[in-house]
Structure 1
Amino acid sequence: MNSPFAHHLGTNYCPTDEEIPDIRALLVEPSLRLQRLNAKIAELQMALEKLAEERESLVVYMDGYKALISPLRRLPLDIIQEIFLACIPTHRNCVMSASEAPVLLGRICSSWRAIAYSTPRLWTQIHLVEPNRFYGVDMPSVEAKAAQRFAATKMWLDRSGDCPLSISLICGIEDAEYTSTTPSHTPPFSQALIPFAARWQHVDFLLSPAGLDSILGLVESDVPLLQSVKLQYDYPLEPRTTQLGSLGMLRGPRISSFCGSGNDIISENLPLRWAQLTVLAMTTAGPWQSLMTSESALEILRRCPELRTCRLTVNDGMESGVPSLPAIELKSLNTLELHCEVVHYTLFHLLDRLSLPELRNFALSGRASVPHDFPSLAKSFTGWPRLESVDITSNTFSKASLLESFRSLPDTVQELKIHDIPSDPGAPLITSLDDDALAILTPTDGLHPQCPVLEVLDIVHCTDVTDEAIFRFIAARMSDEFETKLKRVHFRCNRGVVLDILPSLQPFIENGLDVSINYIVPFKPRSSPWQGLLDAPIDDLRFTEY
């Protein structure tokens, strides 16, 4: 539309008083046309809304009849039950929550609820959490929730029929001083489980004093199906220590796996059928809290000839002597993990007395007790011809013993993880892991490196391994001349970046290598111009500083 004012559009031009009537005259016809268009649009919108209502009514009518002939309605009961069972978590026990199976399945419709409630296998797993009772909580509210969960637990387990049960229980924390003035009316949740003890198959109990008391009366005949037991008890036991020794349920005829956590649970005096154990774990919240010495660990291992997996927390004092027990052979042991706060020479004597021909996975963590050379793991590695995974703390060794251990790694090792624990703040830096250790694993001039089938290397907190050494290692291992290629390399460096090698590693990454090299980023203080103001933006660091 031609107009004498068209060239002023989009500018800051201000018309004169004489020009304003002319501009208004130009808008008369467009305004009438706009009104006609708006009226037509409104008419069409009403027609569309009427058609949409008619369509929605037709869809509802058709969906009702389609539902009658839905294939899901005609599925056999056993197929529906298998689908329901596939909804159950496989990596843990079921939670008492309407957000996941099996409770969720009963919230869909009445027919599904009937099927879910009448399928015992859906209710064979349960994770049970007892509410805490301590000063500051609303005790009536806690008691109501506890009573509700207690009753729900019984209903849940009643639905499991005669099936074996997998149960995990976290007992509530009780403030003795507070509960003495406001006693609980709900029994310990472990009491709700006692009537079903004959069907326990796998149990994982984090016990309170009241929870421990409730299971002390169980004997081996009460748990005929029990196969695996995990007990955690971190309260000061005092007189309860002797009671644990009479925990008769631990002599269950089928128990093959025992995991204990807590000072006094780590004991060779537990009434276990040691000879039939295939899995044994005895740990504490911190290695320094363990009451197990290398000698007592060796005594326990002597009783367990069928072990396949073993995890122990060992605490040898300076007064500990060399284990005097004879050497033992564990023909089936596949995994051995030893955790210590301070590694003493006695631990290496323990390893020297173990013959482990089938060992595949080995882990040793802890710091050296004194700054002198400890024996290396060379002798042990030589006796473990099938070793595939090694996880050790480099600070356990002097540099010389660490290099000797590296040179003795079996050719079968596929995964290697090294923790280079940083020194305490203010202490001089002591590290045994440097470029020389990595060079043992790096092919050079066609020479056969250690661990020729290595696929995974993970080094944590390394300080003295340089970027150049990391690149040489990766490039040599990924070269066409080397048959077994790396799959994953992770470095977490306790220093800043010196040489950025990631661009040079890009060809290997494109070929599938998983590379992660992380550095400590120096802290850079920033001062926001909004500091001190109540209306400062939440993310004020995004703003430019002046």
Structure 2
Amino acid sequence: MDELNTIYIPLLVSQICTRWRKTALATPRLWSRLFLQLDTTTLPRTTLVREWLDRSGACPLTVYLFWEEAPFLSSHPVLEALMDHSERWQAMFFYLPYAAFKSLSRVRKRLSNLRELSLGTSDEPAGYIAKLDAFSVAPRLTSLECVNCSPLTFKFPWSQLTSIPMMAVSIDDCIDVLLQTSRLEKGGFILIDSFPSVYGRGRAIRHQHDHIRSFTIMTPPLNETVDLRGLFPQLCFPHLEELLICNLHSPFCAEFVSFLSRLRCLRTLHLRKTALFDYQLVEGLKYLPTLTSLIVYSAPTQAPTVTHHLLASLTWKKGKKGERLLPLLKKLELTIDYNVAEDFIEMVLSRVLVVEGSGNDHPARLEQIRIRPTEDLGDRIYTGLAKIASHGVEVTVEDLAEAHPSVTD
């Protein structure tokens, strides 16, 4: 979504010739999307918006509206024009000054078609404020995103949400949101506080969420050391299939391994730039026999997660059932340095040279590997990767591709 595709291309199509113009004006969907940056030149923008709203007929609307330039007022003519058609809102992204959100109150109970909503602001007020109820009644709303603003600033129909692509919250607020979203299937949270108050409140109650299939934990760039000791004991997602943790530089805890032990259906584990120690990951992987995809990118300034110990633990050992990890693994992405590169090749081959029909003594065959080298791995390693690719495995090497091209089947 940008101005080129939502404004300039429709205008260009309608100006080619008379026949094309008639066709464009007779195609309401061509005018049903808008990407707008609000500024002080209100009249041209307002005229354009009203023209698009007329030409789009009764089509559902998708609008991205950004108001990032002062002066910031309590409303804007473009916003007023859009509110006249709120019954047609389907997917809306608002990045507005806080005062402008108050003006949206007149769309309350006039959002019968709204399915996706994303909200953001740069001047969220401090302290207690009354909740805004513009979006409290939206019978079809299933996806909600809050960027740079607290979701608790608004009233939402939490119980009907199935997707939260991204939401910036404290750990306490994350738990509160989970408690209210009984139908949530996909949740992404940027956790912003450094130590949970749940310990102080004595509220470490485990919450079982039966519908969540995908869960993401991130931290903001200004605070990548958020303490999650109070979060993991409260989470129980028995049907979780995908877990992503990104930019978490605080030490992981025993509670994290315990959390993994409760994920009986996990298929994808994605750890990007974390401070997880290798032995903690190995211990956690013992509880994840259903995993088919493992992605581990070590944080540049932290001790590497991908070590000799991790790779040795992932190497399939014949006749040693008690020491085998991830029997169903088919996709693997790792950060690799020169010191562990040969161990990596050995581990992958142990999962590629699999005898078909050999029963439980062999793992599932690796189908895809992607490595992110932190340094030149040497020609010998690329020879090993070529051997792996010759067995039909899709092999990709990132970053140093100019020096050593990617090897694929």
Task: Tell me which interval the TM-score lies in, with the shorter structure as reference length.
Answer: 0.7 to 0.9
Counterpart of 1:275 (choices 145, 152, 159) is 159
Query: Displacement, 1:212?
Result: 3.1
User: What CA distance in whole angstroms lies between the structure 2 residues aligned with 1:510 and 1:246?
Assistant: 60
Query: Displacement, 1:327?
Result: 2.4
Secondary structure at 2:397 match in 1: strand
Query: Displacement, 1:93?
Result: 9.3
Q: Deviation per CA, 1:167-222, whole angstroms, max 9, x where unpaired?
A: 11122422x5xx9xxx9xx945323311111211110112235643542x334212
Secondary structure at 1:384 match in 2: coil
User: What CA distance in whole angstroms lies between the structure 2 residues aligned with 1:283 and 1:234?
Assistant: 15
Equivalent residue for 2:175? 298
Alignment partner of 1:121 is 2:121: no
Counterpart of 1:189 (choices 78, 101, 110) is 78
Q: Structure 1 159/196 Cα, relative in aligned 2: closer, same or farther at 3 Å? A: same
Counterpart of 2:146 (choices 236, 246, 260) is 260
Equivalent residue for 2:306? 433
Q: Structure 1 168/94 Cα, relative in aligned 2: closer, same or farther at 3 Å? A: farther
Query: Displacement, 1:319?
Result: 6.6
User: What CA distance in whole angstroms lies between the structure 1 residues aligned with 2:396 and 2:29?
Assistant: 43
Secondary structure at 1:307 match in 2: coil
Q: Structure 1 218/390 Cα, relative in aligned 2: closer, same or farther at 3 Å? A: farther
User: Is the contact made by 2:6 and 2:33 (CA closer than 8 Å) also made in structure 1?
Assistant: no
Alignment partner of 1:473 is 2:344: no
Q: Structure 1 394/202 Cα, relative in aligned 2: closer, same or farther at 3 Å? A: closer
Secondary structure at 2:299 match in 1: coil
Equivalent residue for 1:11? none
Q: How does 1:28-47 map to 2 (within 5 A)?
A: none
Secondary structure at 1:95 match in 2: helix
Equivalent residue for 1:106? 14
Q: Structure 1 105/511 Cα, relative in aligned 2: closer, same or farther at 3 Å? A: farther
User: Is the contact made by 1:124 and 1:157 (CA closer than 8 Å) also made in structure 2?
Assistant: yes
**Deviates most, 387-396 or 300-309:** 387-396
User: What CA distance in whole angstroms lies between the structure 2 residues aligned with 1:209 and 1:268?
Assistant: 13
Counterpart of 1:452 (choices 327, 335, 339) is 327
User: Is the contact made by 2:33 and 2:62 (CA closer than 8 Å) also made in structure 1?
Assistant: yes
TM-score, structure 1 normalization:
0.63
Query: Displacement, 1:361?
Result: 0.9
Equivalent residue for 2:407? none
Q: Deviation per CA, 1:108-134, whole angstroms, max 9, x where unpaired?
A: 332332232123233222222335x6x
User: What CA distance in whole angstroms lies between the structure 2 residues aligned with 1:277 and 1:311?
Assistant: 13
Paired letter, 1:346: R
User: What CA distance in whole angstroms lies between the structure 1 residues aligned with 2:363 and 2:318?
Assistant: 15
User: What CA distance in whole angstroms lies between the structure 2 residues aligned with 1:437 and 1:157?
Assistant: 57
Query: Displacement, 1:468?
Result: 0.5
User: Is the contact made by 2:13 and 2:24 (CA closer than 8 Å) also made in structure 1?
Assistant: yes
Q: How does 1:169-180 map to 2 (within 5 A)?
A: 169-174=65-70, 176=71
User: Is the contact made by 1:308 and 1:332 (CA closer than 8 Å) also made in structure 2?
Assistant: yes
Bigger Rg over Cα: 1
Query: Displacement, 1:512?
Result: 4.2
Q: Deviation per CA, 1:209-238, whole angstroms, max 9, x where unpaired?
A: 5643542x3342122221221011123434
Secondary structure at 2:225 match in 1: strand
User: Is the contact made by 2:172 and 2:196 (CA closer than 8 Å) also made in structure 1?
Assistant: no
User: Is the contact made by 1:316 and 1:346 (CA closer than 8 Å) also made in structure 2?
Assistant: no
Alignment partner of 1:237 is 2:114: no
Q: Structure 1 170/306 Cα, relative in aligned 2: closer, same or farther at 3 Å? A: same
Q: Deviation per CA, 1:155-174, whole angstroms, max 9, x where unpaired?
A: 11111222221211122422
Equivalent residue for 2:64? 168
User: What CA distance in whole angstroms lies between the structure 1 residues aligned with 2:367 and 2:203?
Assistant: 43
Structure showing greater relative contact order (alpha-carbon pairs closer than 8 Å, 6 or more residues apart): 2
Q: Deviation per CA, 1:436-493, whole angstroms, max 9, x where unpaired?
A: 1122222133556422222222224x55861111111222222133563333222223
User: What CA distance in whole angstroms lies between the structure 1 residues aligned with 2:349 and 2:53?
Assistant: 58
User: Is the contact made by 2:30 and 2:56 (CA closer than 8 Å) also made in structure 1?
Assistant: yes
Query: Displacement, 1:318?
Result: 4.0
Q: Structure 1 188/437 Cα, relative in aligned 2: closer, same or farther at 3 Å? A: farther
User: What CA distance in whole angstroms lies between the structure 2 residues aligned with 1:330 and 1:159?
Assistant: 44
TM-score, structure 2 normalization:
0.83
- Percent identical among aligned pairs is 20
User: What CA distance in whole angstroms lies between the structure 1 residues aligned with 2:204 and 2:134?
Assistant: 28
User: What CA distance in whole angstroms lies between the structure 2 residues aligned with 1:369 and 1:204?
Assistant: 32
Equivalent residue for 2:285? 406
Higher helix share: 1
Secondary structure at 1:403 match in 2: helix
User: Is the contact made by 1:331 and 1:356 (CA closer than 8 Å) also made in structure 2?
Assistant: yes
Q: Deviation per CA, 1:66-99, whole angstroms, max 9, x where unpaired?
A: xxxxxxxxxxxxxxxxxxxxxxxxx88983344x
Q: Structure 1 502/513 Cα, relative in aligned 2: closer, same or farther at 3 Å? A: same
Query: Displacement, 1:397?
Result: 2.8
Equivalent residue for 1:505? 385
User: Is the contact made by 2:293 and 2:332 (CA closer than 8 Å) also made in structure 1?
Assistant: yes
Q: Structure 1 163/96 Cα, relative in aligned 2: closer, same or farther at 3 Å? A: closer
Query: Displacement, 1:336?
Result: 0.5
User: Is the contact made by 1:355 and 1:383 (CA closer than 8 Å) also made in structure 2?
Assistant: yes
User: Is the contact made by 2:204 and 2:233 (CA closer than 8 Å) also made in structure 1?
Assistant: no
Structure 1: state its 5+ residue gaps.
1-90, 134-142, 285-291, 424-428, 522-546
